[in-house]
Amino acid sequence: MDFDSFTLAASTADLTEEPQARAHADCLEFRMDLAEDPLAALEDYAGELPILATNRAEWEGGEAPDAGRFEALAEAARIDAVEAIDVELHSILEGDADGVLAVADETDVAVIASSHDFEGTPSRPELVRTLTEAGKYADVAKLAVTAESKADTLAVLSATEQLTAHGDRVATMAMGEVGRHTRAVAPIYGSKIGYAPVDPANATAPGQYDLETLAGLVARLE
């Protein structure tokens, strides 16, 4: 996966859902932190869609404790079906992700450096700074914030447009109800990854559309 054009990721903790995702998604986002035995599931995976592996930390909205988190992600990066991994920007800056980044480099797996804000939306210059910083370490800089106003959603879209015009690959979205439409619209401004749950009952973030809906919206707006 090169993320040069928009990539729709079907988020799941259950890789056996792949056949349901195939019609609409370009890849599976495997939420390792939400799965029972993620490495065994990856070893057994026989689906067609490539995998973006995420092992989200507890302190960034996921369920993976820090102990062993990057070791498991590095093992995932060695599995053929895994073509991309998601690493929190905070961990990269702390130097905690050096090992997993080295494995991704060695195995030619793309890296997404991500940052989440579940409380609100930082100022536009701050969004631009975070995306620029993330882009220094990764193939795609990803930012998910929580919009509390229409102005917040415009800041996200405007930062997306700026970075994209500058030649950076970014993935952006505003979580929550107010920001929901950005999931459909951000690709127009350059966002390269969208996320939607395979099973709408198992959304992995607030405000997600179900997979078929997001695929349809993005296709119609293109």
Strands (E), the chain: 7-12, 27-31, 51-54, 82-88, 110-116, 140-146, 170-175, 193-197
- At its nearest, how many Å lie between ligand DQA and the CB of residue 3? 14
Question: Nearer Cβ to ligand DQA, position 121 or 208?
Answer: 208
136 is catalytic: no
Choices 37-45, 65-73, 118-126, 202-210; region in contact with ligand DQA by CB under 6 A: 202-210
Q: Is 58 annotated as a binding residue?
A: no
Q: What is the DSSP letter of 108?
A: T
CB of 54 closer than 8 Å to CB of 144: no
> What are the phi and psi torsion angles at 144 (to 5°)?
-120, 120
Q: Which of residues 52-81 bind ligand DQA (CB under 6 A)?
A: 54, 56
116 is catalytic: yes
Q: Is 177 annotated as a binding residue?
A: no
Bridge partners, 197 (sequence order): 11
Q: Is 208 annotated as a binding residue?
A: yes
Radius of gyration of the chain (CA): 16
If you count them, how many residues does the chain have? 222
175 makes contact with ligand DQA (CB under 6 A): yes
Choices 38-46, 93-101, 154-162, 204-212; region in contact with ligand DQA by CB under 6 A: 204-212
Query: Which residues of this chain interact with ligand DQA, rule CB under 6 A?
Result: 11, 29, 31, 54, 56, 86, 114, 144, 173, 175, 195, 204-205, 208
